[in-house]
């Protein structure tokens, strides 16, 4: 074994002859460092990170027990096995030493073969312990990696499902990007935490996934819809809820709520359940506002964008009717951020 790879043993004793004896005994197989008192033992333990400490109990100032207690208190040194080397034979002392976290006792006068055997055994145990700890760290890292891979996959599938819905419609990818980013801003503004706001950002693009189930002649009809056709269009919210289904994932749970409730109106005149006020889930109320705002404030192949002033007037006009009035206020209060998103995901018109 190379010099560097030899285990390091710290021997602590206030009597020079005892130190010399142990150093002589161990230096054939180990790197041995020494300390003459508890204080310097703590320092060396911290800087050298020995694999094992042989610790005298009877020392002036800080005795072995106190030294051991302090070693076990610090995270950096608490895993280093401590063997007490003592002239005492009273069982109460041994109990105290083990209670402090020592792994073994060697009594003086020492027996060289016994010291060697104990040291070897405890070094092997320490090595096994370190290996297990290392493997645990690797395992935890693997689990973390797999979990984030799964989350990534889930997110990718959710996004693709959202894209599939857009393909059926005249809408571009920019609409869902803008409306879901607006939704995230509004979520934070009304007190949802960072994590929930990100969940909303990722769930909102599925709001119209149910349009997959609407027949082309109705979904893509350029002119005004008949009452019957409008009734069919309205079913996109229940179809969407059905597609997303009743899943355990928080992301899909939220996507379900949004798909199902984004056409409810604050005054109870929406669909499919004519829910009113706070009976409409908050994420549904947020999506309703940001979906409509984006629809009117951006250009579509069949219509021009409303000027910003007019779009904002509409929100205020519909505050307490279509939209949650608190959300309208928060939306206006956060207008600079909203406009940043609008600019960032601007449609490129050729």
Residue numbers at the binding site for Fe ion (CB under 5 A): 208, 291
Q: Of the candidates 297, 293, 287, 260, which has an alpha carbon nearest to the alpha carbon of residue 275?
A: 260
Least distance in Å: CB of 214 to Fe ion?
Answer: 10
Between CA 318 and CA 269 the distance in angstroms is: 12
Phi, then psi, of 207 in degrees rounded to 5: -55, -35
Q: Specify the residue, 86 or 180, whose C-beta has the smaller distance to Fe ion.
A: 180
Residue 222 · residue 205 · CB < 8 Å = no
Judged by CB, which is closer to Fe ion: 64, or 270? 270
Q: Minimum distance from CB of 330 to Fe ion (Å)?
A: 20
Three-state DSSP class for residue 245: coil
Closer to Fe ion by CB, 25 or 239: give it: 239
Contact at 8 Å (CB) between 201 and 180? yes
State how far Cα 209 lies from the chain centre: 28
Distance CA 62, CA 39 (A): 7
Quick one: 291 or 324, whose CB is closer to Fe ion?
A: 291
CB 207 to Fe ion: min, Å: 6
How far is it, in rounded angstroms, from Cα 263 to Cα 269? 9
Residue listed under structure tokens 């050298």: 48
Residue number, 56 or 291, with CB nearest to Fe ion: 291
With respect to Fe ion, which residue has the nearer C-beta, 56 or 166?
166
Q: Regarding beta strands 8-12 and 52-56, do their DSSP bridges make them parallel or antiparallel, or are they unpaired?
A: parallel
Query: Which C-beta is closer to Fe ion: that of 118 or that of 236?
Result: 236
What is the rounded distance in angstroms from the CA atom of residue 265 to the CA atom of residue 72? 63
User: How far out from the chain centre does Cα 181 lie?
Assistant: 21
For the record, the structure tokens of 87 come out as 């002239």
The pair of three-digit structure tokens given for residue 65, joined into one six-digit string: 């027990």
Q: How far is the CB of 240 from Fe ion (least distance, A)?
A: 8
The closest of 126, 82, 80, 86 to 106, measured between CA atoms, is 86
CB closer to Fe ion out of 8 and 296: 296
The nearest distance, CB 175 to Fe ion, in angstroms, is: 6
Q: How far is the CB of 236 from Fe ion (least distance, A)?
A: 6
Minimum distance between the CB of residue 164 and Fe ion, rounded to whole angstroms? 14
Least CB distance to Fe ion at residue 235 (A): 11
Q: 8-12 and 82-86 as β-strands: parallel, antiparallel, unpaired?
A: unpaired
What are the tokens at 102?
């020592």
């Amino acid at each position: 074994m190379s010099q560097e790879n030899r285990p390091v043993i710290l021997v602590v004793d206030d009597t020079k002859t005892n130190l010399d004896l142990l150093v002589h005994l161990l230096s054939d197989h180990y790197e041995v460092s020494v300390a003459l008192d508890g204080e310097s033992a703590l320092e060396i333990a911290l800087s050298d990170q020995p694999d094992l400490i042989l610790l005298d109990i009877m020392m002036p100032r800080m005795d072995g027990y106190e030294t051991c207690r302090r070693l076990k208190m610090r995270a950096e040194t608490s895993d280093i096995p401590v063997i007490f080397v003592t002239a005492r034979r009273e069982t109460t002392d041994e109990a105290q030493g083990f209670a402090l976290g020592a792994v073994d006792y060697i009594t003086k006068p020492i027996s060289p073969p016994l010291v060697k055997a104990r040291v070897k055994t405890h070094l092997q145990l320490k090595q096994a312990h370190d290996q297990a700890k290392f493997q645990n760290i690797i395992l935890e890292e693997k689990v973390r990696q797999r979990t984030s891979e799964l989350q990534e996959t889930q997110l990718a599938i959710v996004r693709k499902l959202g894209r599939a819905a857009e393909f059926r419609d005249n809408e571009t990818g920019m609409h869902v990007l803008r409306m879901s980013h607006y939704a995230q801003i509004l979520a934070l503004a009304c007190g949802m935490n960072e994590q929930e706001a990100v969940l909303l950002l990722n769930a909102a693009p599925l709001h119209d996934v149910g349009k997959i189930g609407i027949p082309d002649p109705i979904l893509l009809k350029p002119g005004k819809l008949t009452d019957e056709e409008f009734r069919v269009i309205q079913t996109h919210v229940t179809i969407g809820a059905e597609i997303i289904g009743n899943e355990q994932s928080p992301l899909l749970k939220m996507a379900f709520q949004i798909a199902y409730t984004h056409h409810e109106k604050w005054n109870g005149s929406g669909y499919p359940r004519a829910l009113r006020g706070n009976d409409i889930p908050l994420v549904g109320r947020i999506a309703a506002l940001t979906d409509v705002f984006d629809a009117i404030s951006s250009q579509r192949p069949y219509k021009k964008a409303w000027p910003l002033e007019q779009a904002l007037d509409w929100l205020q006009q519909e505050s307490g009717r279509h939209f949650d009035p608190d959300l309208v206020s928060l939306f206006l209060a956060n207008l600079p951020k909203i406009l940043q998103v609008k600019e960032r995901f601007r449609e490129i018109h050729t």
